[in-house]
Amino acid sequence: MPFFEGPYYGNAAEKARAVFLSFLRYIKAFLMLKTLLYPMLVMGCLQGNSLLWGVEPAPSPEYRPPSTPELYEKELVPGPAPKIPSSLYAGFNLGIGQSRPSGTGNDKGAYLISPKIGYNKTLTTWSLFDADLDFLYGNIGHSAANITIDYGALLRVGYGYSLGNRVFGIWKAGLGIYNADYALTSDTAYKAKGILGSVYQVAFEALFPITSSVALTASAQWNYFALSVNQVKSGALTQLPANDEERIHVILADVGIRVYL
């Protein structure tokens, strides 16, 4: 029996068509087999060449997940705030402002210079205790009298809390004594030396840590100075009226620096 004779091939055209379709099936099967086996053959050849020439095959690259954008700019993230230590410190302050008498006389300028020693105690991360002893020197008074503070001492205590942005605010209150020279502006021959007086102060101070050992301060102060002028010197000793007392309010803007020891 001929090869193409059978129940499904009635004529030569159908036989040719069947042969062509069979050829196409073989081609398709070959292409599928090539697609599956070609990568394996290539890898086998590469590994064979590597082993033949003594070269280790290159390792496959390590998988790394894709990077995501930063949630914030790193350069804008603030660094840690300088820590305020619990420590003794030494400081120096200068206050400039206005002196106003309770009685007669007009206002005049005033200043106070105050080197100091103190102690700073950190209570929590946002609060602190502060105490200092200020040594006073300066000039106060009014239009009718000039008062020069030769020396004095002011003891202050305060409580502070964080204001944000690395700044602390401290409320302070203090009292002290001072020794002053008193002179009338109308007649400088009338003066008294070595008068002992008292001073009271309320202040709000801002503390700016620069480093862990240095800080700057800025404060607003209200000071109340009281003294009694018992006598003045005018060649011979002259007694003043018993009611000759001075009560002076001094408002100052104060700046300073402190160094932790």
Task: Let me know if residue 4 belongs to a domain.
Answer: yes
Same domain, yes or no: 129 and 234: yes
Dihedral pair phi/psi, residue 3, rounded to 5°: -65, -35
> For residue 231, how many other CB atoms are within 10 A of its CB?
13
Model confidence pLDDT, tens digit, residues 164-174:
888 999 999 99
Same domain, 1 and 113: no
List the domain range (segments joined by +) for residue 198.
87-260
Decide: pTM greater than 0.75. Answer: no
172 membership: H or E segment, kind and range: strand 167-184
40, 103: one domain = no
The pLDDT tens digits of the residues spanning 122-180 come to: 888 889 999 999 999 999 998 888 899 999 999 999 999 999 888 999 999 999 999 99
How far is residue 69 from each of residues 43, 72, 77, 79, measured CA to CA in Å?
37, 9, 16, 21
Is residue 74 in a domain? no
**202: CATH:** 2.40.160.20
Question: Which residues have C-beta within 8 Å of that of residue 4, sequence separation ≥ 6?
Answer: 15, 18, 19
Cα separation, 92 vs 259, in Å, equals 9
Q: For all residues of the chain together, what is the average pLDDT?
A: 80
